[in-house]
């Protein structure tokens, strides 16, 4: 049996186990028509007994058809078959008397499993009828049907509890699948963000140094060869960074990004006004600030057409300024303000509980400011020097 009101898509293994449980439960329910058939021998004889056995056999057939309809995913047959089973139960009353309520046990149990919102009413009506009807019909020569009422009550409650457990298990399976899907999606987003940040910086540096080497090739061959060697080093580092991002073990240090940024700005012909140290930034913020410096300087070189770039560090903030085209045309804002770079930064900074401010300066230039909550041990600032 299944719950028609709560359909899910469990795994094949879960479906197989659930199918076996349903089969065992469904087969066990045939015990109740068998009890009714046994009781017929003591209540009636002759043609009446034959008619009673025919009714019980027809009831069993309808029950099997109900199970097949559920197994084949044809729920539209369930209600008509239950109506027929109810009619057969009523037809069995003149022959089996109070023992006919064993058939009602099957009907009420199916209602408790398939339509749980009607379970309480069905169990109440069935139990009271099984208890009182044999006592209310004098011709049956019997008292209240206590045993039949108890059988109906506890069997229906057991089947209803089974349905609740099955529905809960299906919900847990669906929830685990959803958690796995969200984890996979989050990992894809992390890899996409890291690859954008890593490759954006590395490929920009390779492009700048390659152009510089071309310009120097006819003037200073030794210097050009040195720049191409640096390009090779950058490409190897980019490959290592990509592998680290994919495996989740990438490391970004603030001091390293400041040093790389200084070299990238020098190769691009931009005057670099960068900190000489990053000691005042707490260890918990250094990786985050390293990502900010990497993204900010990459966009200065890529978009700003600037002559000067400065980086200012404090214990709780990092600020990157340039004197380039600003938010108009090809300024740094194109890369930071509207692209994936700022999206990645906002995600990282939001995780740390910080804020991102990015916008053009007056009369020209661009400013990127990232601020994070300052801890009690965060004090001081970092001196700067032009290099």
More confident residue, 140 or 109: 109
Q: Please state whether the predicted TM-score (pTM) of the whole model is above 0.75.
A: no
Strand partners, 312: 319
d(CA 78, CA 113): 12
d(CA 201, CA 184): 26
Q: How far apart are the first and last CA of the chain?
A: 77
Residue identified by tokens 């990438």 is 250
> SS3 for 363?
coil
- pLDDT grade for 201, boundaries at 50, 70 and 90: low
Question: In Å, how far are 149, 177, 244, 287 from 377, measured between CA atoms?
Answer: 73, 43, 31, 18
Question: What is the pLDDT of the chain when averaged over all its residues?
Answer: 79
156 Cβ neighbours under 8 A, 6+ residues apart: 105, 108, 109, 111, 112, 119, 122, 123, 126
Question: What does the DSSP assignment read for 258-319?
Answer: HHHHHHHHHHTT-EEEEES--TTS-HHHHHHHHHHHHHHHHHIIIII--SEEEEEEBSSEEE
Per the CB < 8 A criterion, the answer to whether 141 and 188 are in contact is no
When pLDDT is averaged across residues 124-149 and rounded to a whole number, the result is 84
Both tokens of 88, joined, read: 């057969």
Residue 285: which of 357, 217, 374 has the closest Cα?
A: 374
- pLDDT grade for 214, boundaries at 50, 70 and 90: confident
> SS3 for 279?
coil
d(CA 86, CA 78): 12
Residue 237: which of 209, 205, 215 has the closest Cα?
A: 205
d(CA 269, CA 253): 24
Q: What is the pLDDT of residues 145-195, one digit of tens each?
A: 888 889 899 988 888 888 888 788 778 777 777 776 776 677 677 667 666
For residue 335, the model assigns a pLDDT of 41
Per the CB < 8 A criterion, the answer to whether 292 and 267 are in contact is no
For residue 323, the model assigns a pLDDT of 92
Backbone angles phi, psi at 273, to 5 degrees: -115, 85
d(CA 274, CA 259): 9
Per the CB < 8 A criterion, the answer to whether 295 and 344 are in contact is yes
How many other CB atoms are there within 10 angstroms of residue 117's CB atom? 8
Residue 18: which of 178, 176, 168 has the closest Cα?
A: 168
Task: Evaluate if residue 40 carries a pLDDT over 90.
Answer: no
CA atoms within 13 A on the CB side of 193: 17
Q: What is the pLDDT of residues 336-378, one digit of tens each?
A: 444 566 777 888 898 889 999 998 998 889 999 999 987 655 5
- pLDDT grade for 14, boundaries at 50, 70 and 90: low
Per the CB < 8 A criterion, the answer to whether 326 and 365 are in contact is yes
- pLDDT grade for 243, boundaries at 50, 70 and 90: low
d(CA 283, CA 269): 32
């Amino acid at each position: 049996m299944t719950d028609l009101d709560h359909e899910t898509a469990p795994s094949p293994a879960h479906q197989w186990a659930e199918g076996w449980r349903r089969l065992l439960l469904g087969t066990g329910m045939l015990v109740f028509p068998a009890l009714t058939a046994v009781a017929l021998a003591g209540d009636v004889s002759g043609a009446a007994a034959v008619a009673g056995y025919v009714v019980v056999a027809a009831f069993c057939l309808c029950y099997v058809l109900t199970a097949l309809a559920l197994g084949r995913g044809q729920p539209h047959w369930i209600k008509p078959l239950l109506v027929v089973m109810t009619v057969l139960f009523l037809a069995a009353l003149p022959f089996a008397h109070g023992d006919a309520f064993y058939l009602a046990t099957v009907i009420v149990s199916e209602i408790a499993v398939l339509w749980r919102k009607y379970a309480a009413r069905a169990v109440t009506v069935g139990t009271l009828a099984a208890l009182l009807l044999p006592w209310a019909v004098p011709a049956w020569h019997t008292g209240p049907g206590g045993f039949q009422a108890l059988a109906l009550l506890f069997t229906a409650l057991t089947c209803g509890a089974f349905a609740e457990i099955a529905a809960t298990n299906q919900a847990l399976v669906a929830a685990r699948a959803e958690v796995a899907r969200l984890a996979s999606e989050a990992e894809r987003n992390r890899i996409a963000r890291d690859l954008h940040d890593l490759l954006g910086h590395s490929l920009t540096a390779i492009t700048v140094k390659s152009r510089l080497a071309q310009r120097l090739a006819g003037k200073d061959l030794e210097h050009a060869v040195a720049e191409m060697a640096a390009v090779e080093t950058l490409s190897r580092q980019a490959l290592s960074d990509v592998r680290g991002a994919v495996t989740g073990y990438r490391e970004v240090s603030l001091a390293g990004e400041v040093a790389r940024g200084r070299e990238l700005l020098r190769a691009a012909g931009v005057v670099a006004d960068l900190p000489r140290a990053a000691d005042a930034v707490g260890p918990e913020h250094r990786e985050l600030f390293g990502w900010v410096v990497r993204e900010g300087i990459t966009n200065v070189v890529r978009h700003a057409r600037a002559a000067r770039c400065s980086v200012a560090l404090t214990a709780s903030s990092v600020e990157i300024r340039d004197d380039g085209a600003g938010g108009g045309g090809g300024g740094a804002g194109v890369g930071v303000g509207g692209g994936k770079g700022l999206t990645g930064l906002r995600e990282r900074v939001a995780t740390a509980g910080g804020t991102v401010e990015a916008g053009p300066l007056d009369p020209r230039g661009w400013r990127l400011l990232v601020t994070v909550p300052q801890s009690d041990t965060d004090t001081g600032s970092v001196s700067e020097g032009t290099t």
